Amino acid sequence: MLARYGIALIVLMALAGLAAWIVDQPGTARFTWLGYEIAAPAPLIVLLLALLALGLVVLAWIFAWAAALPQRRKLKRQARGQAAFAAGMVAVAAGEPGRAAKLAAKAAQDLDDPTLARLLAAHTAQLTGDQEAARRAFTALAADPATAFLGLRGLIGDARQRGDRDAALPLARKASALRPASPYAAEAELRLLLEAGDWAAARERLEAARKRKAAGKADADRLAALLDLAQAMEAAEAGHGLEAAKLVRRTGKLLPDHVGRAAILTRAASDTQSRHEAQDCIRRLWPTAPSQALARLWQRLEDSQARAPDIRMQRARMLAESAPDAAESHLLLAEAALHARDFGLARAELEQAESLQGSGAWSAAIRAGLARDGDGEETIAERWQARANRASEPWLCRQCGAGHAEWAMRCQACDGFDSIAPRREATQDSAQGTLPATPLLLSGPKL
């Protein structure tokens, strides 16, 4: 600031010195114009010319300022609109629908660029629950080539929220065509294909994503292995046990701890060797995922080999020893003892399990068996069985909480892909099945 004042003072002093020098110069200037002769001191003429030049500069500045006035007003209006847009997005993020709606209207009024106004309007409409208004805004964005992908993304989310997969899939394919290398587009289209059970189309889309670098190698390889499991399950259901087992073996390196492998191998088992392979898979899984679901698979294999009750008890003990501190291991032994009619051992193992984890559906079913077969109390047995039946399915969808009697690649209730897992024996079963879908290809949050 002081430097500016100093420079201004120097300039003024220089101009004053120049003016004094001009005044001190002698001489007279004469002009003849329209028959008149004009004579004046030379310094005065110079001063008049300087004033005239200064007047012209000031006049030019006034005209320039007046000409730029509309542009300045426009820039100020745009600045207000951009500020309203930014504040509106903050309001959307903060969950303030009233403030967001006011700012959206202001942004639409002040901004010449409709893109930002439409985007804020769409998010505001979603926040207020006005899906029709959000759909109109996203449709307008999708119609503009510059914002088509953004609009399609919003329309895909809207269609998924409405549960309209038939509308979402063509939109996802358009998004993939616009941005072939987009991980979001690949994720959206793959998710819809998998929920529809179209394994062949999903595999084709996965390979396209792999070539376009829209999917990382680890994610793509894991999804390919899950597709192998899906096709293996179809083969097992069709009675093609050898093909199913071959596909399951191919997933061993990438999905060694996936419970679906045990379920498919159990279903496909048709001879002694395949049954042993299925039981080996269950043994590997039991230490990390002990559950009634795996126990049922194990018992099904034991039933198919017609083992004597004492042999089955010994083999169940060998399985339980791989997870000796798990309540499910004690429940496995209690159930085996009940089948062997060793009611004392069954009660002891059941009490040990309930001391670790409380009473759940599996323990209630065992108590029903003890009351019926061990005590002859049919009324008590019916009460315990009614409790067990409230959550009798050993498999549970992690996304929607629907129970399943058998493992499947898709949930029958919500079409969730790879969402079926063994039900936990703990009493808080109602808290299960509330997890969002795991991203297929994206390491970030679920779309």
Closest among 382, 348, 341 to 365, alpha carbons compared = 382
Q: Are 78 and 112 in contact (CB under 8 A)?
A: yes
DSSP 158-220: HHHHTT-HHHHHHHHHHHHHH-TT-HHHHHHHHHHHHHTT-HHHHHHHHHHHHHTT-S-HHHH
Q: If pLDDT is split at 50, 70 and 90, which confidence band does 9 have?
A: confident
Read off the pLDDT of residues 227-265 as tens digits, 9 standing for 90 and up: 999 999 999 999 999 999 999 999 999 999 999 999 999
Which residue's entry shows tokens 């006005």?
130
DSSP element (H, E) containing 339: helix 327-339
| Per-residue pLDDT, 240 | 93
DSSP element (H, E) containing 54: helix 42-94
Residue 350 above 70 pLDDT?
A: yes
| Per-residue pLDDT, 429 | 47
Read off the pLDDT of residues 80-103 as tens digits, 9 standing for 90 and up: 777 777 787 787 777 787 787 787
| Per-residue pLDDT, 304 | 87
Mean pLDDT over 273-281 rounds to 92
Query: At 440, phi and psi to the nearest 5?
Result: -80, -45
| Per-residue pLDDT, 419 | 92
| Per-residue pLDDT, 279 | 94
Mean pLDDT over 390-409 rounds to 87
Read off the pLDDT of residues 182-209 as tens digits, 9 standing for 90 and up: 888 999 999 999 999 999 999 999 999 9
Q: Are 274 and 265 in contact (CB under 8 A)?
A: yes
According to DSSP, the β-strands at 395-397 and 403-404 are: antiparallel
Read off the pLDDT of residues 314-334 as tens digits, 9 standing for 90 and up: 999 999 999 999 999 999 999
| Per-residue pLDDT, 286 | 95
| pLDDT, averaged across the chain | 84
pLDDT > 70: percent of the chain: 86
Q: How many CB atoms lie within 10 A of CB 54?
A: 10
Calpha distance 326→29 (Å, rounded) = 116
| Per-residue pLDDT, 447 | 42
Query: What does the DSSP 8-state code read for residue 410?
Result: B
Q: If pLDDT is split at 50, 70 and 90, which confidence band does 79 have?
A: confident
Q: If pLDDT is split at 50, 70 and 90, which confidence band does 446 have?
A: very low
Q: Are 126 and 142 in contact (CB under 8 A)?
A: no
- Whole-number CA gyration radius for the chain: 40
Calpha distance 391→360 (Å, rounded) = 9
Name residue 40's beta-bridge partners. Answer: 29
| Per-residue pLDDT, 435 | 66
Q: If pLDDT is split at 50, 70 and 90, which confidence band does 426 have?
A: low
Whole-structure pTM value = 0.75
Mean pLDDT over 267-291 rounds to 92
Mean pLDDT over 387-392 rounds to 77
